[in-house]
Structure 1
Amino acid sequence: MHVPDGFINTPVSVAAGVAAAAAVAVSLRGARRELDERTAPLAGLVAAFIFAVQMLNFPVAAGTSGHLLGGALAAILVGPYTGVLCVSVVLLMQGILFADGGLTALGVNVLTMSVVTVVVAYAVFRGLLKLLPAGRRPVTVAAFAGALLSVPAAAAAFAALYALGGTTDVPIGKVVTAMVGVHVLIGIGEAAITAATVGAVIAVRPDLVHGARRLTTPLKLRVGGELVDAPAPAAAAPAEDASRSTRTLWLTGLATALVLAGFVSFYASASPDGLEKVAADQGIDSKVEEHAAAGSPLADYSVKDVSDARLSGGLAGVIGVGTTVAVGTGVFWTVRRRRARDLTATSTAAPSAP
């Protein structure tokens, strides 16, 4: 659902860019509370995984395909603020390196595919968790529902922006009906991928899933007829084990992303995605503009001068995963270190007890 240049006029695109920049600024501040030494590198991995899975278009109707948006997955795994940053990093890499999603429409894409999906998905997810009993299955069910609703919400957000600044004269009612209708179907695929991924991570390390923190309650012991918290285990060995387990999860996730982008993506559906199909059918794309990065050596997810389609697409996918995980991890480590400096400065400035 990457919006190209030319669908939305300049004033609305600029306004969307300002709103998106404000959302990213708020998320940078909020992510300081969500990231720690273990989750910062995992956030970079989540961004790379979303990039990889977005290359896997799946068929949803005759002549139409869809792909993961990723806002729900990122918000549940690493937190809503960090989730906005994850998807925004992906969109930035796709726009600059692969000419996917217009550069002047970057604000529109961040608002629809990042901010709206995260806000809607996480609100639905948290709301359902308050109603459902504690457990792994309810978390997965809530993740499914949040992801399912986030996709048509993003489609409705695009329709709203089109109503304000569409460059073609297409009745807004037709745009809303077509966009929401096809993206409800795409949302089913999004929900299945999100629930499966969240469930897999919870099965291995529930303590690393932001949305499943209530599953890792302190161990209780009965002493003298009363329940008390069990004493914390020795610090050295658990810390070492946790680090090793986190490293294993990170390497496994990165290998999975590389395989998906480098090999499985070759078998993705070649049909236009939901937005492309609606734009072509309704005439929204009549004023589409050529991407500013159309001459990029990685444009259209292929490596320039590599004639073999399988090898070209696979190399582009691997490069994309590597670049996204590097940039994402750098951003999240920087945010984490900023939080550490703030905490140090606060503790240093605090007056000592008399």
Structure 2
Amino acid sequence: MENLAMHISNGIVNGPVAAVFAVIALAAMVLCVQRGRQHLDDRLAPMAGLVAAFIFAVQMLNFPIFTAGVSGHLLGGALAALLVGPWVGALCVAVVLIVQALVFGDGGVAMLGLNITNMAIIGTAVAYLLIAALLRILPRTPAGLAVTAFVSALVSVVAAALGFVLQYQLGGTADLGGNIAALAGTIAVSHLLIGIGEGLITAMTVLTVAKARPDLVYALRARGPAASAPVPAVGGVR
């Protein structure tokens, strides 16, 4: 069930629903390209490549959940949103998903729209909304940044997984057992555990980057009017 929630295989959701979400994903990616171009510079472009490579690597690592052969992997949406922003971050995750589907057969090619919607769009968007909110109320200290990274990663993983539940309710074709509420509960609980692991890794990674090169952390540079106010330092950021 976990692999279905993370990377939906061909035949799990019917063609019409998959087609609708393919259109949604394509429209969202076009918007991300348009908006992402406005932010690309000498710092963000190479960082985007590194983020995509890191997400690809961590998504290849699976770990067991519970005792029934259920396994999961990290998503990387929150990490991408923190380091390169929501627009470029969503593109990074989408590129990883496309490569995994076409080259490694991880997730059905016909289900790419569903997987991109869940992990690249929902996951990254939910993460960045939380990041923007938390960075306005938490101190810009290492502890504040760590809490922001941990919470945004955890919640984004659960939100992305529950996107699959909605898609399955709309057009699920495989018998996953139990009713939709039971399916949602199982996926939410298992992904909560995954989210804890992702939150810890995201927090450690972002803190490491912030201490070495705080100017490379997009979330610390793009905070609107509040960014100009004096704040406590995070790895030298003022």
TM-score by length of 1: 0.59
- Give 1:59's aligned residue: 64
Question: What SS is found at the alignment partner of 2:182?
Answer: helix
Distance 1:60 1:13 in 2: 27
CA shift digits 1:291-318 (9 cap, x unpaired)? xxxxxxxxxxxxxxxxxxxxxxxxxxxx
- Give 2:165's aligned residue: 159
Question: What SS is found at the alignment partner of 2:82?
Answer: helix
Change (3 A) 1:22 1:214: closer
Distance 1:168 1:51 in 2: 28
Matched-pair contact (CA < 8 Å) for 1:43–1:82: yes
Matched-pair contact (CA < 8 Å) for 1:139–1:211: no
Matched, 1:15 2:20: yes
Matched, 1:184 2:189: no
Matched-pair contact (CA < 8 Å) for 2:169–2:180: yes
Distance 1:192 1:61 in 2: 19
Distance 1:23 1:158 in 2: 17
Matched, 1:129 2:135: yes
Matched, 1:204 2:209: no
Matched-pair contact (CA < 8 Å) for 2:11–2:174: no
Q: Within 5 Å, give how 1:316-331 maps onto structure 2.
A: none
Q: CA deviation at 1:214?
A: 7.0
Distance 2:61 2:49 in 1: 20
Matched-pair contact (CA < 8 Å) for 1:139–1:212: no
Distance 2:222 2:214 in 1: 9
Q: Within 5 Å, give how 1:211-290 maps onto structure 2.
A: 211-213=219-221
Matched-pair contact (CA < 8 Å) for 2:17–2:170: yes
Match of 2:11 among 2, 6, 10: 6
Matched, 1:173 2:181: yes
Match of 2:35 among 12, 30, 34: 30
Q: CA deviation at 1:143?
A: 0.9
Question: What SS is found at the alignment partner of 1:105?
Answer: helix
Q: CA deviation at 1:155?
A: 1.3
Distance 1:84 1:214 in 2: 16
Q: Within 5 Å, give how 1:35-184 maps onto structure 2.
A: 35-62=40-67, 63-168=69-174, 170=177, 171-184=179-192
Distance 1:207 1:196 in 2: 17
Q: CA deviation at 1:65?
A: 2.6
Q: CA deviation at 1:53?
A: 1.1
Change (3 A) 1:78 1:101: same
Counterpart of 1:33, as a letter, is Q
Counterpart of 2:124, as a letter, is V
Matched-pair contact (CA < 8 Å) for 1:16–1:107: yes
Change (3 A) 1:145 1:19: same
Matched-pair contact (CA < 8 Å) for 1:5–1:104: yes
Question: What SS is found at the alignment partner of 2:109?
Answer: coil
Identity of aligned residues (%): 50
Distance 1:203 1:74 in 2: 17
Distance 2:162 2:109 in 1: 21
Unpaired stretches in structure 1, ≥5 consecutive residues? 221-354
- Give 1:318's aligned residue: none
Counterpart of 2:24, as a letter, is A
Unpaired stretches in structure 2, ≥5 consecutive residues? 1-5, 231-238
- The structure whose RCO (Cα within 8 Å, separation 6+) is larger is 1
TM-score by length of 2: 0.87
- Give the CA RMSD over aligned residues: 1.8
| Equivalenced residues, count | 219
- Give 1:324's aligned residue: none
Counterpart of 2:195, as a letter, is G
